[in-house]
Amino acid sequence: MNHIAMYIGYNSAWFLMIVIAIVSFIVQWRFKSKFNQYAEMPLLSGLSGQEVAERMLRDNGIYDVEVISVEGELTDHYNPENKTVNLSPDVYNGRSVASAAVAAHECGHAVQHAKAYSWLSLRSAIVPVINVASTLTQWTLFIGVLLLFFIHSPYVLAIGVAALALVTTFSFITLPVEFDASRRALAWLNNNYTVMQTREEHEQAKDALWWAAMTYVVAALSALATLLYYASLLFNRRD
């Protein structure tokens, strides 16, 4: 019975990982497709991503955050350590619906920081631990599986599974942070017709941010599926 349970557990985990990988590919493709589509739609206001970001920060009473341009594609992020909204060149200089949506989303994180949003505070607090855990998973999982099967020692794999559990938890903590940042961005855009002047522009921004949020959802599910796979190896083999 134990062998049957192991077989079912392994195959179920593999099937789940394959399904999530396919879904992740579709979501990533859809997000990039949407972003490229809305990047071709100029804002009637003519504002750049930089100008949108600076205006949103100012409207929220935030004057100690700098908006800067960083190299790369889709490298946009907010850095709470040095209080910078980092926008990729296409977003920073772009004057499209996509640029405005992304810029406002990243400023949503700055607003979270200014208001001490609990989920962002929690995520920021555990980043050092997650960095260590991510490093551990790179070698403990592979070596742990080898040791488990060849000398029946579960300890290294157990460390890897514990580290992976922390990384997976971090992925799920990220979800409310990202969804809330988009909510704040869309609320601000909806109330500022000097930025987005039509309902159509707002709906396009909402659509772009929704698909961006879905990439975080599938990333969290992928991390969970990976965790379940290695956990099944560890606990079924020990049985």
Q: Please report whether residue 47 resides in a domain.
A: no
Number of structural domains, the chain? Answer: 1
Please give the structure tokens belonging to residue 1.
Answer: 């019975």
Q: Please report whether residue 64 resides in a domain.
A: no
Q: Please report whether residue 137 resides in a domain.
A: yes
Pair 212, 91: CB distance under 8 Å? no
User: Given this model, what pLDDT does residue 234 score?
Assistant: 87
Residue 40 annotated to the active site: no
> What is the distance of C-alpha 217 from the center of its chain?
8
Instruction: Give the separation between CA 16 and CA 29, rounded to whole angstroms.
Output: 20
Instruction: Give the separation between CA 177 and CA 219, rounded to whole angstroms.
Output: 14
Does 5 score more than 80 pLDDT? Answer: no
pLDDT band at 125; cut points 50, 70, 90: very high
Q: Which of 51, 54, 106, 201 is catalytic?
A: 106
User: Given this model, what pLDDT does residue 161 score?
Assistant: 96
Q: Please report whether residue 74 resides in a domain.
A: no
What is the per-residue pLDDT across 20-47, written as a single tens digit (0 to 9) for each?
A: 889 889 999 999 899 899 999 999 999 9
User: Given this model, what pLDDT does residue 38 score?
Assistant: 94
User: Given this model, what pLDDT does residue 7 score?
Assistant: 46
Q: Which pTM value belongs to this model?
A: 0.87
Pair 107, 85: CB distance under 8 Å? yes
Task: State which residues form the domain around 142.
Answer: 2-41+98-238
Percent of the chain with pLDDT over 90: 74
Averaged pLDDT for residues 229-233: 89
Which residues lie below 8 Å from residue 194, measured CB to CB, with a gap of 6+?
A: 45
Q: Please report whether residue 178 resides in a domain.
A: yes
Instruction: Give the separation between CA 78 and CA 214, rounded to whole angstroms.
Output: 19
The single residue listed with the structure tokens 């208001």 is 115
Q: Please report whether residue 131 resides in a domain.
A: yes
Which residues lie below 8 Å from residue 108, measured CB to CB, with a gap of 6+?
A: 180, 181, 182, 183, 184, 185, 188
Q: Please report whether residue 67 resides in a domain.
A: no
What is the per-residue pLDDT across 138-152, written as a single tens digit (0 to 9) for each?
A: 889 999 999 988 888
User: Which residues, listed in sequence order, are joined to residue 28 by a DSSP beta bridge?
Assistant: none
What is the per-residue pLDDT across 153-200, written as a single tens digit (0 to 9) for each?
A: 899 999 999 999 999 999 999 999 999 999 999 999 988 877 887 889
Q: Please report whether residue 78 resides in a domain.
A: no
User: Given this model, what pLDDT does residue 236 score?
Assistant: 75
Does 82 score more than 50 pLDDT? Answer: yes
User: Which residues, listed in sequence order, are joined to residue 86 by a DSSP beta bridge?
Assistant: 68, 77
